[in-house]
Structure 1
């Protein structure tokens, strides 16, 4: 998916959080997988 975290954050300027197991990234109320 995104390899550059800074580009990722610029693309989604919302609250970003990674799940405790590090497998998922939460963007606002949306959930996307890391692949």
Structure 2
């Protein structure tokens, strides 16, 4: 997987999680290729 793409997805995921009420710090980030 590409790191830049992963970081981009990670950012989108954490803002989505914040929107639905999760704390992104509690959610383990797993690189999925």
* TM-score (normalised: structure 2): 0.35
TM-score by length of 1: 0.34
The structure with the largest helix share of the pair is 2
Question: Which has more strand, going by share of residues?
Answer: 1
The structure number with the bigger radius of gyration is 2
